[in-house]
Amino acid sequence: MNALKISTRDAANGPVLAIAGDLDYVSAGEFRELLPTITVRPGQRLVVDLGALEFCDSSGITALIAAHHHARSAGGELVLAAVPANTLRILSIVGLDQILTIHPDSETAIGT
């Protein structure tokens, strides 16, 4: 089990959250509690960089859906970056790859 670490920064198109460690039943609540403190303005992107994500279970997927709702309710968009293959497979199985915008890396997610 790897502790969840979340770092935040601002980019020109909106906030960027970098997730490291496990986003699971134990830690997903921490991520969800952080969301209301992240300001997303209309037309902005909330980029969640998963490049250092090591494990994601259904609670983590639910937390990502909560991030999607947070961004949409503010008039913005959730964009995932650097999604690990195993997590991308889960997103594909449940159809979220058809709903969420996914980029290969954070720079592409921020710049496009």
Contact 30, 20 (CB under 8 A): no
Q: For 44-63, write each residue's pLDDT tens digit.
A: 999 999 999 999 999 999 99
Residue 112 confidence (pLDDT) = 55
Contact 67, 49 (CB under 8 A): no
Mean pLDDT confidence for 5-27: 96
Dihedral sign from CA coordinates of 81, 17, 78, 11: negative
pLDDT band at 88 (very low <50, low <70, confident <90, very high): very high
Domain with 19 in it? 5-111
Mean pLDDT confidence for 65-89: 97
Q: For 32-45, write each residue's pLDDT tens digit.
A: 999 999 999 999 99
Residue 93 is part of a domain; what is its CATH number? 3.30.750.24
Q: Which amino acid is at 45?
A: R
Per the structure, the count of domains in the chain is 1
> How far apart, in Å, are the Cα atoms of 40 and each of 37, 101, 110?
10, 16, 14
